[in-house]
Amino acid sequence: MSGLVILALLIGLMMTGLPIAFVLGGLGLGMLVVGGFSPLIVPQGLYSVIDNFILLAVPLFLLMSNVMLKGGVGRDLFAAVQSWVGHWPGGLAVATIVSCAIFAAISGSSVATAATIGTVAIPEMIERGYQRRFVLGLLAAGGTLGILIPPSIPLIVYGVVTEESIVSLFLAGIGPGLLLAGLFIVFSIGYAHFTKAFTPVPPAGWAERRRLTLRTLPTLVIAGVIVVGLYSGAFTPTEASGVGFALAILLTAGILRTLTWQGFKAAVIDAMRTTVTIFLIVAGAKVFAKAITLYRIPQDVSSLMATAIGEPGTFILVICLVLLLMGFVLEALSMLLIMMPVLLPTVLALGIDPIWFGILFVIMIECALITPPVGLNLFVIQAVGKAPMGEVAAGVWPFILLMLLTVVLIYVFPGLALYIPFQL
Amino acid sequence: MTKHAEALAEFCGRLAAWTFVAIGGMVTFEVVMRYLFNAPTIWAEELSRFAQIWATYLAAAYVLRHRQLIRINMVTRQLGSKGRCRAEAFSLLWIAVFSGVAIWYGTDIALESIRVGRASSTMLAVPSWMTEFAIPVGFSLLLLQVAAELLKLKHGPPPDDGHGEPL
């Protein structure tokens, strides 16, 4: 009963336009007071949740990808990939997805990925006769690779909330990320082949390819250092983010000489804004999570689920549907931070691997965010592509189907996610 | 008064931004010292965590001022100017109450730490109040910014700015 009242308050307060961080924090505070618990829990929670070495990876990965962005790395990357695959049928679409996948390895956010590659790819593809709605859908979907292929900010937050290993989560994201990229590529080639709606790009010469690839090589090296460093255990995720940030400065300011002081300042301010926005939600969610735990809501949900559903498959289906609905109004991290503290006991009780569940959760969140009419990532592409919402929405649905297919594949073959962290 | 509050929020936001850069420096320095010189520091991890707490709460007022806090504007977008003003006032007052609690009890915790001489259980043994004061200080700045935003409401509702930055 109290659970339903809290849910109603949660939704009601969000609809007033109150910032999510304070919906969660304030509601948590209210629950503590009503339940006769000490409000001292509020500052304690606000303090302890940010006093966390793992969370340091969030600002540092954001600094790294912002510096790369301001250094024009996206343009170089796209040009290099395009010189190799541009002349294929649907070559620019393939280049877009491959660029997104590579940029995803230095960026933890799907918005940064879509924005970086989108700014270069969208005008180029439209000029080459690709249908606008296909281009916009492709970018909205390609951006989602940003949080599936490590590093990933939602996976860091997931790991902090569930106390699971960030490294395992990162490694588990690689397989599904590559699978998804592969499906997008196959679809793009097929689409271009059947619609013929594109002008082929002449193949680039070998000299051209070598020049462009050399220019983008340092970026690949940084991505490689991070993934290999994490995989081999040489770095913790936080250390990888620090080293990545330092390398990004070295590359863009020292080697490419594309980073200006103005650009660097803008990157620093942007990273701070995004970080603090995220951390305030994390902090508010911590207060809320403490309150619902004191009310024993997660345990109640768990026993309710165990008796009402009792079977992992049905549970996962229900969660997927709930997430699709939530995606209409909420963005990724809020969904994660509201749902996971409630769901974790159920996940563990049903014997579901929490690492595997994290990957599934992130794909579902992303799916929800590009589902029309109100997926939030659609707004980003709409802004980058300067297109009406209807056009983006029309182009995105084949990609949503591919993402749902990936969810099904990961459900049927859990090894797609779990092989790299646990078997390799 | 509004001007001074906003200048303060702006300054603290920038300070926080460069603090995150400094954290990047500390973390990288630690890695370099450990791998190249086999001499890990005793301060890098702890100081970077402490800097993170201060940076986060110092910049809370900045993100409020720049309307970066993630919110759902689906319903409020439909309202007229008066309705938007009311919704905004409600949000600000709600944040003010929450900040008040954080300031009051946060100060309690920090003063208690001074009284009993609590310190971190590491080699550095940093006195706990040094970081615990980040909560009351940060939320005091936020409260000040809330007051400034409430005063600005007299001139009409804030522009409909979307919903902050999703990831």
DSSP, residue by residue, A42-99: HHHHHHHHHS-TGGGHHHHHHHHHHHHHHTTHHHHHHHHHHHHHTTSTTHHHHHHHHH
Residue A237 scores a pLDDT above 70: yes
At residue A60, the pLDDT reads: 95
Q: Residue B111: its pLDDT value, please?
A: 94
Asked if B20 lies within 8 A of A279 by C-beta distance, the reply is no
Q: Is the pLDDT of residue A204 over 50?
A: yes
- Cβ separation B56–A276 shorter than 8 A: yes
For B16, which of A276, A331, A332 is closest by C-beta distance? A276
Q: Please give the share of chain B, as a percent, with pLDDT higher than 90.
A: 56
Cα atoms found within 13 Å of the Cα of residue B56, Cβ hemisphere only? 32
Confirm if A61 and A146 have CB atoms less than 8 A apart.
no
Which has more pLDDT, A282 or A389? Answer: A282
pLDDT digits (tens, 9 = 90+) for A109-127: 887 888 888 888 988 898 8
- The DSSP letter of residue B79 is S
**Is B120 an 8 Å CB contact of chain A?**
no
* Residue range B79-96, pLDDT digits in tens: 888 888 999 999 999 999
B-chain residues near A283 (CB < 8 A): 56
Find out whether B143 and B99 touch, Cβ atoms under 8 Å: yes
B100 CB within 8 Å of a chain A CB? no
A295: which DSSP letter?
T
Q: Which residues of A touch B69 (CB under 8 A)?
A: 19-22, 277, 280
pLDDT score for B161: 55
* Highest-pLDDT range among A16-25, A230-239, A304-313: A16-25
What percentage of chain A reaches a pLDDT higher than 90? 51
pLDDT at A374 exceeding the cut of 70: no
Kindly tell me if the per-residue pLDDT of A193 is higher than 90.
no
Residue A262: C-alpha distances to residues A266, A269, B40, B83 (Å): 6, 11, 34, 40
B102 to chain A: which residues are within 8 Å by CB? 42-43, 46
Sign of the CA dihedral running A207, A210, A212, A215: negative
pLDDT in the model for residue A156: 94
Position B59 pLDDT exceeds 80: yes
Helix, strand, coil distribution of chain A in percent, nearest 5: 80, 0, 20
Q: Tell me what the pLDDT averaged over chain A comes to.
A: 89
Q: Report the alpha-carbon distance of residue B8 to residue A382 in Å, rounded.
A: 35
Which is more confident, A241 or B126?
A: A241
Residues 62-91 of B with CB under 8 A from A: 62-63, 66, 68-76, 87-88, 90-91
Give pLDDT, residue B164: 47
Instruction: Reply yes or no on whether the pLDDT at B163 is more than 70.
Output: no
Sequence-separated (6 or more) residues with CB below 8 Å from residue B115: none
Q: Which of A276, A278, A329 sits opposite B72 (nearest CB)?
A: A329
Model pLDDT for residues A37-55, shown as the tens digit of each residue: 999 999 999 999 999 999 9
Q: What is the mean pLDDT of residues A226-231?
A: 88
Which of residues A1 and A223 earns the better pLDDT score? A223
Helix residue ranges per DSSP H, chain B:
2-36, 44-58, 60-65, 81-116, 129-132, 134-152
Instruction: Tell me the mean pLDDT in the region B99-111.
Output: 95
Residues B53, A47: C-beta atoms closer than 8 Å? yes
Average pLDDT estimate for A305-321: 86
Compute the CA torsion angle A96, A102, A106, A110 (nearest 10 deg): 40
Distances (CA, A) of A298 to A9, A162, A338, A339: 17, 13, 11, 10
